[in-house]
Structures are given as C-alpha cells and as structure tokens.
Amino acid sequence: MISQNQMKKILIFSLAYYPRYVSGAEAAIKEITDRISDIEFHMVTLRFDSVDPVHERIGNVEVYRIGSSSYLSKMLFPFRAAFFARRLHQKIQFDSMWAMMTYMVMPAALSRFLGVRVPYVLTLQDGDPYEKVFGRLRVKPFLPLINWGFRRATVIQVISSFLGTWPGKRGYRGPIELIYNGANPKNLAEDYSKDEALAIRNRLGKKPSDVYLLNVSRLVHQKANDITIKALKLLPSNVLLVLVGEGEDEVMLKTLAEKEGVTNRVKFIGRVDRSEVAKYRNTIVADIFVCPSRSEGLQMSSLSAMAGRLPVVATQEGGLAEYIFDEKRNPGTPTTAWAVDADSPEQIAEAVKDIVAHPEKVKEVTERARAMVFKKYNWDNIGKEMREKVFAKVIS
C-alpha cells in the first residue's frame, strides 16, 4: 500500500469549484479525482465569497481559495494562482499540474516561469465556439502566453473530437487523449429518488395531461433557451418548459416568454445543487429534454438525461454530434435522439410532436441511448482512462 508521503501529487488549476459553482468541468474534476486513490490532488481556485473557507478538503482534493468574485480578481487569478502555486510547491513538491479549461493553461505556464518546473496536463472542456474562446478582446493580449502554454503541455485531454481540433491550431504537437465526460451517476441508478421526484412534480403542479420539456443549463445565449420558448407557441397549451439553472439571460428569457404569450408555460427553477438536479431529469417530472445549444464541448446534461431515459431533442453543434444520432440525419447509425438545426423553433416543435405521438419509438430510442451512455460515458471507466492514459504520462 502506498503511504501518503510516497503518493504522487498533482496541483489543479480551476477557476471555480464546489460547492458554489458547479458545471461540467467542475463535476468532471470531482468525479475523476474521487475515483483515483493513489494520487494526491490539490487545487487552486477562486474564492467567490468571503464565507467560503480558504482551505478545505472536498472529496479527494485539497482545495485552496484565493482572491474574490470581483471582475478584477477574476482577471488577476492566473497571475495570483501562479504565485500561490510556487509557494505551495515549495512546501508540498508537486509532481505535475493539471489545467482545467483553456484559460487555466495561463497559471500553469506562469508557474513554470516561476520555478514550478513539472510537467502538466491541459484538459479542454470549453463549450463556447473556438472563435469566441480565442477571439475575445480581453483575451487577445494573453494569446502569446496561452499559445506557449498549449505548446508546453505534456498531454492534452479533450472531451470530444470537436475540441480535439483545437490544440493543433495553437501550435501543439504532442499527444491528444480523447476521454469523454460522463453522465450524472444518479441518473444511471434504476430507482434514484422516485419519491423525491414525485414531490417535485407535485410542487410544480404537473397535471396528468401535461408534457414537461426540460433543460438543465446556464441561462446564457449559448444554450439557446430562447428558441425553446419560441417553440412553445407552436405547441399545444399542455406543453410547458422547465428551466433549471441561472444566468445572465434570465431577465431576457422572462421578457421573451411574456412577449410570446407563454409566461404561464415557462417555469424558472433557478440554481439547483448538482446532487438534486437528477431528480428533475427523472421521467416522473420531465417528459422531454430539450437542448438546442448553439455550441457545446460535449454537454453532460444531455448525457445525464439519456441516462435517465428521457428522450432528447438537441442540435448537433460541437461535441453534441458525437452522440446525438437522428434517424433521418444519421442513416445507418442507431438512433439516440431527435436532432434539430440551431435557432429553429419549428424543428423543436415538430420533434416534440413526434415524441408525444410515438411512445413505442421513444421507448426503443431511450433504452438504446441509455445503454450507450452506460458503456461510453461511465465515470468509473473514465476515471481509469484518465489515470492510465493521461496522468501516467506526467507522474511516471
């Protein structure tokens, strides 16, 4: 058995982490690190609130928080994180670093300049389009550092083939490992929270004749919830939309719902802890998961919906194309979902009508999709792959 002093140590850079801000990247870190017992993980992240402890252990990660939630603090995070990493390295002596998301390659690269001369992994999980990630005005001054960081990475892990095209454009010539994210394990459970899901359904006031569309995502332009709201006008009045999440588009979406005359058919749930989200993806609560994203790196929420046997209506943008297979658009490939074009409320409405009208077809597709998720997007398998194909390259 490996003693604590003998264990290899990896320092993670992540702008956000549990318990306050959790999306796909943060969930991936926790799901992966919880499954790797022979590596000691530490993390530098932003302290978004003064009530958050500056140091705590979450799962298998020692979490250190620095800075604050102010815009200036976020901009300075890569630099402050690098100096903090140097001090921590002097005490702990890390064997490697792990940068989660494109911009976190900056503190990893800066740490190298400051003397933390260890190999590092870069994971790409970005959901925004390539042009937006690297074309933002506030990012352009840092592109030389970002490009340097890409080129010096020992290995880059990507969660979709779509993201696998990015490293070469930044000058990287090393190994790229395609290892997907996984679905929420609670959605894969056969009997997870049925009683609690029933309580949510009752709280939402769902009637037996109602059809609930669901999306679990940030309320931002990329997620295209505005398109689903527009689709409601084209659907019967018993079709409602449940939006779980918060974001900068919330006011706009509420205004749009009022303008479209569907205010009473859109339920804004707000932020829900990830441990509770699976209950909303239960078929007792929701009937159809609608994800008309304009861009995606992979999209764990759709995979989790498939794991929970919900029929999925989604675009094939970015990484979604790797598992959203439509009977008309992907002939010869087993159907897993109903694909629509981006910005097409008409196609969403038609897909919803098809799902409602063909329950036997839905049962066949959802069982196939669940089996696919269980095989390809299972965190137990992903944890092993990360240990053997990625971390082994930087701690051997």
Pairing of strands 288-291, 176-178: unpaired
Q: Order of strands, edge to edge, in the sheet holding 155-158?
A: 55-58, 61-66, 39-46, 8-13, 96-100, 120-124, 155-158, 176-178
What pLDDT, on the 0 to 100 scale, is given for residue 221?
95
pLDDT of 24 over the 90 cut: no
**pTM of the entire predicted model:** 0.86
pLDDT of 292 over the 90 cut: yes
pLDDT of 123 over the 80 cut: yes
Contact between 396 and 10 under an 8 Å Cβ cutoff? The reply is: no
- Paired tokens of 91: 């005490």
HSE (CB half, 13 Å, CA atoms) of 110? 20
Instruction: State phi, psi for 173 to the nearest 5 degrees.
Output: -130, 15
Contact between 225 and 345 under an 8 Å Cβ cutoff? The reply is: no
What pLDDT, on the 0 to 100 scale, is given for residue 190?
65
Choice between 122 and 272, residue whose per-residue pLDDT is larger: 122
How many angstroms separate the Cα of 220 from the Cα of each of 65, 161, 233, 250, 339?
A: 26, 24, 21, 8, 21
Pairing of strands 239-244, 211-216: parallel
Domain range annotation of the chain: 8-182+378-395, 185-376
C-alpha closest to that of 219 among 197, 241, 193, 195: 241
pLDDT of 396 over the 80 cut: no
**3-state secondary structure (DSSP) of residue 44:** strand
What pLDDT, on the 0 to 100 scale, is given for residue 191?
62
pLDDT of 3 over the 60 cut: no
pLDDT of 153 over the 70 cut: yes
Query: Which top CATH class is 185-376?
Result: alpha beta
> For the segment 204-225, what is each residue's pLDDT rounded down to a tens digit?
999 999 999 999 999 999 999 9
Choice between 272 and 287, residue whose per-residue pLDDT is larger: 287
What is the pLDDT confidence band of residue 192, given thresholds at 50, 70 and 90?
A: low
Dist CA 308 CA 303 (whole Å): 9
Residues whose CB is less than 8 angstroms from the CB of residue 24 and which lie 6 or more positions away in sequence, other chains included: 125, 127, 181, 297, 298, 299, 300, 301
Please report which residue ranges of the chain form alpha helices under DSSP H.
24-33, 71-92, 105-113, 130-135, 143-152, 161-164, 166-169, 185-188, 194-204, 225-232, 250-259, 274-280, 300-307, 345-357, 359-376, 379-385, 392-395
What is the pLDDT confidence band of residue 187, given thresholds at 50, 70 and 90?
A: confident
In this prediction, residues 98-106 reach a mean pLDDT of: 97
Domains 8-182+378-395 and 185-376 share a fold: yes
Choice between 6 and 25, residue whose per-residue pLDDT is larger: 25
In this prediction, residues 305-334 reach a mean pLDDT of: 95
Choice between 18 and 83, residue whose per-residue pLDDT is larger: 83
Choice between 11 and 195, residue whose per-residue pLDDT is larger: 11
What is the pLDDT confidence band of residue 194, given thresholds at 50, 70 and 90?
A: confident
What pLDDT, on the 0 to 100 scale, is given for residue 325?
97
Percent pLDDT > 70 in the chain is 98
> For the segment 42-85, what is each residue's pLDDT rounded down to a tens digit?
999 999 988 999 999 999 999 999 999 898 999 999 999 999 99
C-alpha closest to that of 228 among 288, 285, 271, 292: 292
> For the segment 335-385, what is each residue's pLDDT rounded down to a tens digit?
999 999 999 999 999 999 999 999 999 999 999 999 999 999 999 999 999
Percent pLDDT > 90 in the chain is 87
C-alpha closest to that of 243 among 366, 148, 262: 262
End-to-end alpha-carbon separation of the chain, Å? 17
What is the pLDDT confidence band of residue 193, given thresholds at 50, 70 and 90?
A: low
What is the DSSP annotation of 65-95?
A: EES-SSHHHHHHHHHHHHHHHHHHHHHH--S
Dist CA 371 CA 352 (whole Å): 22
Per the prediction, the chain carries an average pLDDT of: 94
What is the pLDDT confidence band of residue 1, given thresholds at 50, 70 and 90?
A: very low
Q: At what angle do helices 345-357 and 225-232 cross, to 10 degrees?
A: 60
Contact between 177 and 157 under an 8 Å Cβ cutoff? The reply is: yes
Helix (H) or strand (E) holding 121: strand 120-124
What is the pLDDT confidence band of residue 155, given thresholds at 50, 70 and 90?
A: very high
pLDDT of 4 over the 70 cut: no
- Domain covering 8-182+378-395, topology: Rossmann fold (3.40.50)
